[in-house]
Amino acid sequence: MKTLLQLNTNTNKTPTLPVTEIEHTAFCKTEDELPAQPLQDELKINIRWQEIPIEYLKLTVEELDKRIARARLSLGDRLMILGHHYQRDEVIKYADVRGDSYLLSKSAATNSKADYVVFCGVHFMAETARILASDHQTIILPNITAGCSMADMAPTDDVLDAWDDLMGILEDQSIVPVTYMNSTAEIKALCGRNGGIVCTSSNAEDVFKWAFQKGNRILFLPDQHLGRNTGLKMGIPKESMIVWNPFKRMGGHSEEEYNKARVILWRGHCAVHTRFTVGQIEMARQRFPDIRVIVHPECTSEVVDASDINGSTEVIIREIEQASSGSTWAVGTEISLVNRLAKENPDKNIFCLDPVVCPCSTMYRIHPAYLAWVVEALVNGVVVNEIKVEPEIAEHARIALKSMLSV
């Protein structure tokens, strides 16, 4: 066992926030609708945008529609466009497949006709598609600045330091690394190298059961709330789940606490889902006594406890689509999806729990202008924003993903 002086995290670090987290509220509005503007107008919002040829800046959504349609027609089956549920309507309408990140990555892997896969999502999703896709396929992210604040909260070096420290702290070294799909390829690879696994919000409980068959405890990355909610659902007491804070010496806990813990949670969260509060749920119930409240398990445990249903994006969609006509739903997930559900289910009253409309600021960077740019470049034989993953990282990340498929 390492001594305290040998541990990687033997001094406190200065707490920092990923830029993606700081920029999260950039698009927040009090209106329900967030129609796309010409890109030059959206660029006035002070966040990081990828540079794009000037010709695309002033184009209206209607003009972009025509150009994207022409490019798609020209490329035919060689092009596949994937759209995550959180994409704005002006982008999702072009998607050949809609879904969550893993479903979309699998779709790319099973479509051998597509030479080019344009992933309208965020960086870690395109990475996963790259890992699972065939060698002849090129994976493209329309806007390279579309990252994920949650994934950014688990930098590789910090996680490697924590893993090394836990190997020294734990008396039996019996721990299995589990990472949520919303993580970088390098973190997935770390799990693959160390007998670990990947999970989604749909299968987290089954993955936890798998992991506990292999070890006495779990290191769960990077979303503490999904990890905690999954543990509570399985009957693991809150006191048996502790948070590893990378900014504190030895993660903020004693060796004894780590050895007693069943689940060690990384200090990460989703900027979208942690906006929802118990107070918002109480207000919704006061307005509509017969309301049903459904939230994502990336919300805090208090919000999950106060809701009627919690589940993945796919669960939220299914529950609302199958609900009786005339029912009222308050939804705790990303606003673009909530608005789409409301439009596609006009016989129901559907609204977002948060009265302030805050789309995922990184997903929202996939403006139609960026989509037009990358597909028109393909017509001209130019690949823009190709996503690549180092072979060794891809190999080990694939091991963790395949372990998930075995569950």
| Tens of each residue's pLDDT in the chain, 407 residues | 443 334 454 456 766 656 566 555 666 665 555 677 788 877 777 777 899 999 999 999 999 999 999 999 999 999 999 999 999 999 999 999 999 888 888 888 888 889 999 999 999 999 999 999 999 999 999 999 999 999 999 999 999 999 999 999 999 989 999 999 999 999 999 999 999 999 999 999 999 999 999 999 999 999 999 999 999 999 999 999 999 999 999 999 999 999 999 999 999 999 999 999 999 999 999 999 999 999 999 999 999 999 999 999 999 999 999 999 999 999 999 999 999 999 999 999 999 999 876 777 788 899 999 999 999 999 999 999 999 999 999 999 999 999 998 88
Q: Is residue 56 part of a domain?
A: yes
Rounded Cα–Cα distance for residues 397 and 325 (Å): 44
Pair 21, 151: CB distance under 8 Å: no
Last residue of a domain, one of 268, 293, 324: 268
Say if 403 falls within a structural domain.
Answer: no
- What pLDDT score does 1 carry? 40
- Residue at 52 is within a domain: yes
In this structure, is residue 255 part of a structural domain? yes
| Whether residues 144 and 26 fall in one domain | yes
210 and 282 together in one domain: no
**What is the pLDDT at residue 7?**
46
Residue-wise over 195-217: b if at least 16 C-beta within 10 A, else e?
A: ebbbbbbbbbbebbebbbeebeb
CB-count exposure of residue 279 (10 Å: 0-12, 13-18, 19+): exposed
Residues 91 and 120 in one domain: yes
Using CA atoms, how far apart are residues 397 and 394, in angstroms rounded to an integer? Answer: 5
What pLDDT shows up at residue 25?
A: 62
User: How far, in Å, CA of 278 to CA of 288, rounded?
Assistant: 15
Same domain, 33 and 121: yes
Indicate whether 120 and 168 sit together in one domain.
Answer: no
199 part of a folded domain: yes
Q: Please check whether residues 31 and 145 belong to one and the same domain.
A: yes
Residue 378 falls inside a structural domain: yes
Do 250 and 324 sit in the same domain of this protein?
Answer: no
Q: What angle do CA 234, 294, 304 make, to 5 degrees?
A: 40
Distances (CA, A) of 176 to 189, 241, 318: 13, 14, 32
Residue after which a domain boundary falls, among 325, 352, 379? 352
Mark whether 73 and 145 lie in a shared domain. yes
Instruction: Give residue 171's domain range.
Output: 154-268
Please name every residue paired with 332 in a beta bridge, in sequence order, or none if there are none. 295
pLDDT confidence of residue 5: 34
Would you say how long the chain is, in residues? 407
Q: Are residues 173 and 237 in the same domain?
A: yes
Same-domain check for residues 136 and 69? yes
Domain count, the chain: 3
DSSP output for 72-117:
HHHHGGGEEEEEETTS-HHHHTT-SEEE-HHHHHHHHHH-TT-SEE
- The per-residue pLDDT for 17 is 57
In angstroms, the CA 295 to CA 63 distance is: 37
